Amino acid sequence: MNTTSKNITDGKAKKEQLIECVPNFSEGRSMNIIKQITDSIESVEGVTLINVDPGKATNRTVVTFAGSPENVCEAAFRAVKKASELIDMSKHHGEHPRFGATDVLPLIPIANITMDETVEHARNLAKRIGDELYIPVYCYEAAAFTSQRKNLADCRSGEYEGLKEKLSNPEWKPDFGHAEFLPKTGAIAVGARNFLIAYNVNLNTTSVRKANAVAFDLREKGRPKRETSSPTSKKIIDENGNEIWIPGILKSVKAIGWFIEEYGIAQISMNLTDIDLTPMHVAFDKACECAAQRGLRVTGSELVGVVPLKAMLDAGKYFLKKQKRSTGISDDEIIKIAVKSLGLNELYQFDCKKKIIEYILAEKENKKLLTDLNLTEFSNETASESPAPGGGSIAACMGALGAALGTMVANLSAHKAGWDERWEEFSDWAERGKTFMDALLKKVDEDTGAFNKIMDAFALPKKTDAEKQIRKQKIQEATRYAIEVPLSVMQLCYDSMQVIKAMAESGNPNSISDAGVGALAARSGILGAFLNVKINASGLDDKTFVNEIFAKAQKIADDACALEKEILDTIEKKLT
């Protein structure tokens, strides 16, 4: 086996799942206790502590951390365990409602994970807390088993002081753990909910009343119905004596108007509690419409706290589509459009590295990536006597450049004068091409991880028979992994050739030579990756698996060569 090959991946191009956890602990005054709890969170590898916000008046600390679902759940369990050891609820006093040492613990899907999957993780975590720590656990929001327990306020009703009586009521038997009052620990609510964005829209007024009028237009709750349009006129009451409300425009939005002394302006302060139903860009545009109807102008907006990358990309793409421009451009450019369109720089500079969750995590991990090198540095690193990067990385790089050229032709076609009616068609092709390019760029760096994994396996001890067996198994696992990586590179390169083919046939005729170079690069990436499949397969004992992989790889290579010829023939005819 060639141990200088560095081709490790899952072979499925599956994106990493990311969730956030925002537990609230009933301690906001003792930094020693808070530090011990956050230390327990940071003891889990792969989890990033994003923020710690203690409050003395509430005697409560809100902690935010993120990572893969498995790592986050492990960190959350350790934090709950540590809090149960350090916090004594029988002595706790604070202004905020609470009923446990770890009062609430929501899991929030951030990237590449559904709410249903997040609910499953939340319920498994709740069960573990109940089973191992014996704490009464109530599941709320999306993780609730019954509608009665969906609302956090209902789960926490009676608070700590009423918990003993509540636990004796069969209707409030905990979902997990024992229905037994623990004076020191109390109970905990574990849930799954959508990401909440605290979002303020700036107005060209100092009037709180005017800002409130717009806020009431927007918020889901709306405003009370009155006899006339005057805000001071009598409210209309139904036959049961209840106020009748006129619902607002936006679902899952809470809003109020206020004046910010620091900036000297009024704002519409919104909580977007379900950004799938009402994303940030929709809230902004509707605020602009409602403000204009009342003689006001929106001058910008402010994002409080952090936001998932997807929310910013969705906003940028929304505004690009309004301009009838391609959305198949770099994430940096899409985010720039979002920031400009939403006016996020009006009050202070919007820093993506401090505001976007995925960028915060990447910054804190501080990984040195090959793809972060400039072209000269990457070439020099390849040419050095270091075994990384090698042929596998270069094959992925060639494939990424081929996909990039296909994407470029699609973007040029979407922006071509006289082709305005076709912008959406080419934008879709550009997005597909960008997806393949991004995936192949990640494969460049996975090579180094593969090499390290193989080296780690060979470095395992081999003094005893048991150690030899474990070492052999780990080598075989790493080798199998190293075969799957270049195979996935081959498939991604081939898929990208569909974009290149479409651009050669119907894209901007001034750029068909670029599509041709893209086809050459993609095919070279496929054949280069195939060489890595072959050399890594020589070290695998499972020959049945090897034969299956060879058959798949050979078909991709044959199909790619045929497709390359078809693309180049099309281009040659157009060039002559």
Catalytic positions: 96, 447
Contacts of 13 (CB under 8 A, 6+ apart): 439, 488, 491, 492
Rounded Cα distance between 370 and 444, Å, is 7
What are the angstrom distances between the C-alpha of 287 and each of 48, 149, 204, 247, 527? 34, 33, 13, 15, 54
Burial of 156 (0-12, 13-18, 19+ CB in 10 A): buried
DSSP state of 161: G
Rounded Cα distance between 217 and 207, Å, is 16
- Residues of 507-535 as b/e, b for ≥16 C-beta within 10 angstroms? bbeebbebbbebbbbbbbbbbbbbebbbb
Rounded Cα distance between 515 and 508, Å, is 10
Contacts of 371 (CB under 8 A, 6+ apart): 441, 442, 444, 445
Dihedral sign (CA 236, 242, 248, 254):
positive
8 and 447 Cβ atoms separated by less than 8 Å: yes
- The tokens describing 286, both together, are 């509707």
- Paired residues of 237 in beta bridges: 243
Which ranges constitute the DSSP H helices of 276-308?
280-293
Single-letter code of the amino acid located at 560: A
**Cα 36–45–25 angle (5° rounding)?**
35
User: DSSP secondary structure string, 40-90?
Assistant: HHHTSTT-EEEEEEEETTTTEEEEEEEE-HHHHHHHHHHHHHHHHHH--GG
Return the SS3 of 466. Answer: helix
Contacts of 120 (CB under 8 A, 6+ apart): none
Burial of 220 (0-12, 13-18, 19+ CB in 10 A): middle
60 and 25 Cβ atoms separated by less than 8 Å: yes
